Each structure stands twice: as C-alpha cells, then as structure tokens.
Amino acid sequence: MNWYLYGFIIYGLALVFMGWWASKKIKASEDFMVAGRAMPMFILAFTFAGLWFGGGTVIGAAGVVLDFGIWSTEYAWGVIPDPYGAGLCLIIAGLFYFSALRRVGGVTLSDFFARRFGKNSGVIAALIMLFGWVFFVAGEIAVIGKIFNFTLGWPYELSIIIAMIIIVLYTIAGGLWSVGIAHTMQMVIILAGITIALPLSLNAVGGFSEIRAFMPPEMISFLPPKAEGFGVVARWLPWIAGWMIIGLGSIPSPDIVQAAQAGKTDKEVKIAAISAGLIYWIFGTFVVIIGLAGFVLIGQGIIAESALMGDPELIIPLMLTELFPLPAAILLIGAIVAGVMSCADGGILSISTLFTKNVIKDVVKPDISDDNLLKWGRIVIAIFSILVVLVSIGYPFVFLLIVFGFDLLLAGLFIPLTLGIYWKKANQTGCIAGIVTGIFVRVVLSGIIEGWSFETVMYPMEWYIYTLAAPAANLVVMVLVSLITQKSDPPITVVENNQ
C-alpha cells in the first residue's frame, strides 16, 4: 500500500473543491483576474510568497546546494538567485514599484507598458512575459513529475500530465481567488513542513556543527569564496549576476504584478510584499540548511548516492523517505507538492490573463464582451498548459528552467519598467529598442557565440556575462533612442487611475 498516493489524492481533491468554492466569487473577468481588487492582506502576503516558493526553492535550490554549496566560484553557480534573490525582489517591488503600477491601473503588467509607452509596447511586453513564463511554470511542473516518479513509481510524463490537470481544474474554476486561497493553504503546509524537516535533518547529521566540520569551507560561504585562478572581478561578477537574475529580473514578472493589483490599498500591498520577502529569506535558508545536511548524509554514507539516480534535485525527497517516519514524510512531501502547485497555478493564470487581456482584447477583438473574455481566459489556461507540459517533458531541469524564465525578464523588461516609472523622457521607440536589444544580447548573441542548442542558450558557459550585459545594453539603447526621438515620439504622460 502506497500511503503517498492517498495523501496526494486527498490533497488534489481538496484543491478542486476549493476551486469550486472560489468560483462562486467570480461574477466578472476582473474577479477572475485580480480577485475583484479586494484580497485581504494576509492572503495577499501568502499569495506573493507562494507564487515562487515552490519547486525551484525546495527541490531546485536543495539540489544546487548538494552540487555546488551556497555559492561556487569555480562553477559560478549556487543558491543566491533563489531563495535570496527572490526574497529581495519582493521587498524591492513592494517598496518601489507596486504603488506606481497600481496608480496606473489595469490588470496586467502589459497594461502599464501600453498606457505608459503605447499599445505596441504592451503587446511586445506581453509576448516576452509569455515566453519567459512558460519556462518558469514548466520548471515547477517538472518537480511534481520527479516527486511522483520517485514516491509512486509513476512515469515522469504521466505524473506531469496528472498534476497539470488538477492545477488547470481549480485555476479555471476560481481564477485569482482560487489561487490566493490555495496559496494560503499551501504556504501554511509547506512552511510547517520545512519547519519540521529542519530539526529532523540536523538531528540526522548530528547538528549544524557537524555540517560545518564536514563540508569544505568554500561550500558554505555566502560570499564568493576565493579560488585558484579567479581574481576579484571573476569572483564577484557572477555573484552579483546571481542576485540580479531574480532579485531584479522577477520584478517585471506577470504574476506578482497581477497579485499586487488585487490588494485593497497600496499600504496593504507594500506590507504584504515585504512580509512575503522576509518569509522567503527565512524559510529559504531552512531549505539551504536541509540541502547541506543532505550533502553530509551522502558523504558519510548514511544515504547512498546511487539512490539519487544521478539527479541531485531528488535529495530532499530521498531524505524524507529514507530517514523520516512515514507520517512526517507524507506531510513533508505533500508540502513540497503544495508549494509547487502554488507556483504553477499563479504562473498559468498570469499567462492566461496576459494573452486574453493584452492580445485577444487589446489587439484581436477590442469589442469582446466580458463574458466571452472570461470564457477565453479559461480556454487559454488549458491551451498553455499543454505547452508547459511539453517543455517540462523535453527539458526536466527545474532550477535552470526557472532561472532562465527570470533571466529573459531581466534582459527585456526590467529597464523599460524602471525607466517608465522613474524617467519622464522614456518613450515607446526607446522602450521597444531597449527590449529588442536586451533579448538579442541574452538569447541571440549567446546562441551565436556559444552554439544553438537548447541548453547553451538557456545556460551558456559564461552565463553571467550575458545576464549582466543584456540589461546594461537595454539601458544604454533605451536612453539614447528615447533622447534622439523625443520630437518624433513624445513621451506619454500617464493619467493615474485610482480604481
């Protein structure tokens, strides 16, 4: 008898029921997309945290710790992007971005681009976010495939399909209300699970002092450790880029901006975002420590490395099934699945909202009725879910999929968003030129230099050069083009919307 299966079934049914219950709040498309702009602050805080605190953090980050430690100078990789960059993003966005975006109004981030720069900019921004966010959601869904395969023995592909069906069902039913309520429940489960797993993991290795004694010092250094052949610049540039990928790149992510529009007041949204960032840092650090404990357990032979089957991202599920009592293991693995679903549902809803609002309504059929727009929102969720499943099956590497999605947003949209808020001379010509330049440097240039394979474009050998150069080039081009074209393309003065 596989008790994990029963736990997953109960959890899946609870989510579907919750989606049905939340659907009773959906009277119009705005209820579906931004919860009627009436989401309570505590639910909003859990929604912000739950949008990202899932597979990338719990499974992906733990696997990276196992391979590289907190940060590796030699391999220019570690867990700085997630959880630490992700927590930083929520705090920065809450302090400096959400209030300005809410004053402009709208439902999506593309609405801001359209109102600040023009309709063409809004459509281009939507397409960039759609492209990047497919990779983010695919990375989250890949986690469920790995967990179901590991605990239930189901084929990876079948596991992904079943998980996506459950997510689609409750997200279609209740929109952002469903996602917000799900995130509250899911985050309570996952934070409780991590809190339980931390002392159990430390007890299994003999305490944190054993981790410090066993592990190489450079693997537990938060700052870029010294390494032979790496000077100051070579050590610090990747570390800075690691903070930027999600710390800045995720500020223009569609899901958190959409969630910010759901809050009642600017003050509540700011408090919720900062609280979510602190939650992310605290519990993300717990995950990092658990991953370090996994390194020690394998090094000491308590857990066989062969049990990972060559996939370091399975370290936490392996620790749970090997070392913890069955009830605790079921709860904790269920918590991981909860976190993954909380990320995936918000991501897939954001994709749907972008496409229906900023492509179908704003471009294809401006006179579409609210009922038909709501209907299309649900159809698009199902369509894009198929694309997400295909990417997850084709490239099952959680951390890289998620980070690449954020890297695209950093390259293309962070600079135009920031200048659109804080620089009055920014115009549409400059915005589009900056976006095209940033994406060219990050995607096309890396392909030309490093080779046109899926993996080399997603994670080129000198990845941090492209991560740093793309927004820098975006900034230079956008400023120069905006200044040159001030007369031919006057900047738009946005009328604040106090909805």
Per residue in 438-490, pLDDT tens? 999 999 999 999 888 878 888 888 899 999 999 999 999 999 999 999 999 99
Residue 289 has pLDDT above 70, yes or no: yes
Is residue 414 a part of any domain in this protein?
no
Is residue 412 a part of any domain in this protein?
no
Q: pLDDT tens digit string along 305-326?
A: 888 988 898 998 899 888 888 8
Is residue 276 a part of any domain in this protein?
yes
pLDDT at 33: 47
Q: How many domains does the chain have?
A: 1
Structure tokens at 435: 């976006």
pLDDT at 496: 67
- Which residues partner with 88 through β-bridges? none
Q: Is residue 184 within 8 Å of residue 43, measured between CB atoms?
A: yes
Residue tagged 């370091």 (tokens): 312
Is residue 165 a part of any domain in this protein?
yes
pLDDT at 133: 84
What are the Cα distances from residue 267, in Å, to 48, 262, 263, 274, 275? 15, 13, 9, 11, 12
The pLDDT mean for the chain works out to: 86
Is residue 442 a part of any domain in this protein?
no
**Greater model confidence, 358 or 423:** 423
Q: Is residue 469 within 8 Å of residue 441, measured between CB atoms?
A: yes
Residue 175 has pLDDT above 60, yes or no: no
pLDDT at 49: 83
CATH number assigned to the domain comprising residue 385: 1.20.1730.10
Average pLDDT over residues 77-83: 93
Is residue 180 a part of any domain in this protein?
yes
Is residue 449 a part of any domain in this protein?
no
pLDDT at 27: 54
Is residue 37 a part of any domain in this protein?
yes
Indicate whether this model's pTM tops 0.95: no
pLDDT at 108: 82
Measured between alpha carbons, how far is 171 from 165 in angstroms, rounded to an integer?
Answer: 10
Residue 29 has pLDDT above 50, yes or no: no
Give me the percent of the chain exceeding a pLDDT of 70. Answer: 89
* Domain span including residue 204: 3-400
